[in-house]
Chain A
Amino acid sequence: MTPVAQETDTYRADFEAFAAGRPASDPAWLRRQREEAMATFQERGFPTTADEEWRFTSVAPIARTAFRRPAPGEAAGVRSEDVTALGFGDGFGGPQIVFVDGRLARGLSSRIAEDGLQVGSLGDVLSRDPERLEPHLGRAVKAAAPPFAHLNAAFLEDGAYVFVPPGLVVEKPIHLVFLTSRGEGPAVTLSQPRTLVVAGRNSQARIVESHGGVPGASYFANAVTEILLEDGAALDHYQVQRESEAAFHAALTAVVQGRASRFRSHSFAFGGRIARHDVQQVFAGEGGECELNGLFAVAGEQHTDTHTVIDHAHPHCTSRELYKGILDGKARGVFVGRIVVREGASKTDAHQTNKNLLLSREALVDSLPQLQILASDVKCKHGSTTGQLDPAALFYLRSRGITEAAARSLLVSAFAGDVVGRVGIPALRAVLERHLQERLPGLRDREIQEAVL
């Protein structure tokens, strides 16, 4: 028996118990989907660095750890103060739904059902009206998705469900908070947040996903977000990852864009001991627009890995991607961005940029922009730079009386500025600036903050 099989065997046993305990009301298609996901996960096992997609990131510490899925109700002790303590702000004016260990925390959440907008629990919909999920749930998660996404799908029981009916313009941002509890006993908690967003034809909405846990706690948060944009839909998706620096975090954001839809993603990764974020997008119709913005800022022993795929499967689509990394201490960053232009996808217009800033000698980043063009008459451009703070700029600022620490913070913050500046929700921008300030001591000076454009 191979070590990989041993590692996944415990998950199989756990899965059998989980599946047997599910209520009879679970639809057959969902049971089948879970079975298939479990089989895929078991067959593929934990990825190793021999796997091209994982060559820069070893998940051996995750494979070695025995995790425990908390039982429902176990995390009932989580209070609203615990949510506030995560520093995600007090919501953004719209509904705020809190999930603990992947399950809806009803008492901490506001729910909304107005003009047909539904923001709530997947588990609720599964028990009441599972048929409405069947055409959507699991559709964006392809077989080639990372193994962790299949592990998530195998244990799917709850999560966030957002349905924006056709034509509705949702003014206030929807905030989904996912937090992982410390669990009970010595075992390490595994939480598997799941989100399904269905944006109806010509609808418009903004969704913020915040991920966090008890500071210093060790756990594994394994999230999957599926986003389906029907024709003409416009969606802004924000993801803020502030997991404990001892935690593992894996996330897949899978996006399918209908004809002439517009998707904007803003991903901010600050936390985790080992964190991996996959964004897998596909244009499923003509004339779509996709914008992926991202910032990762890590320090100490953190390892953060971003893999993005933009799939121009149809003509006349535009994509813009800007990811920036800030690495300090012995942190390691990975950016692999792939743009695929399929045969026949003429008039594709794709730009991709990755810029990284190394703040210490021991920090390291691997950046691999990749273009795969199978069509003609396309405009594609990509670029990647990695550098340190400009010593000339540092001296310039210091020569005017700014301390070295403040000058460094100012330059780092200016570097992050064009990604943070694209955040269209002022309250969220303030939250992000605060997270950055925590990492950049010189920025606590209000006047230095003012100088950041």
Chain B
Amino acid sequence: MANTSTIARDGGSSPVPARGRRGTKPPRGSRGLPEGVVPYALLIPGLVVIAGLLLYPLYQMVVMSFQDVGLRQIRGVPAKSVGFDNYLKLFESELFWTSLRNTVVFAVVTVACTLGLGTLVGLLLNKLGRKMSTFLVIGIMAAWATPAIASAIIWRWLFDAESGVINWALNALPDWLSNLLFGRADWTGEPWLNDPVTIYLVLILVVVWAGFPFIAVSVLAGLRSIAAELYEAAKVDGASAWRIFWKITFPLLKPVFSVLTVLSVIWDFKVFTQLFVLAGGTSNRDAFNLSLYAFTQAFSSPPKMGLGAAIAVVLTLILLIITFFYVRQIVKTEDVR
């Protein structure tokens, strides 16, 4: 465990000596491949998988979004092109717009909460003593490591109408406080997972719970890289904690925050598993997001795979635009040249 990424990365980010020592070449045996071909030969298996199972399906998805792909086509009848029909149908359908709205609102709220809580916990970890910070890191690892499917099921149980611990806790609040906060005192049998609004409230909680540890640990790693002298100098000058964060920590950690934001947006835009479990499958249409909508169109009967593909194209386009910023950031900071 002592051999952390830092060591690996230092090795990776210094390609200069390797280039300088080009003089020593590997042996060129009679059976050996010519030097220039070796890297391409090594790449073949990886490239075949990426091209065949990621890029080709991506292309297929776009093609299918312009076709009518139903049960007969799945069985092997060639699909017919329908032009932009799928997209037109989509943009006319109310369900598409509610799904898009659910997707975007959920992503914005969840990303903000995850980043906010994660950053606070990261700052906290940096301030805590050694023992306490190890204790907390192990604790938040438990939330991070829990498989998505299991976390959704656990929270479903916590929010169970009859025997859920959340309804117990809300009932245990003093009546005046509960009335003040929520306008009601009795939570017995409150069903959380019938109404889209409360489904999304629970979903936000599930995704923030599983997502904030990664942010916290990444922010902590960034904080540890900031020279302590900067903070000491700021303290001597009498700067407040708030000012120190916005004037020193945030600017220095900006690259970290931008990568974390993009990753969170991408993850939260396409959340499927947790929603599928919390909303109880594909029956609650008002609770759809784009992923679940695409899935439902493509895999419930009768299957409309062309329409599903069109939804997937919309989702992918949104994500690729966001990815563009991520890739630009990584190319700036990482050794890819």
Co-complex (A, B): no
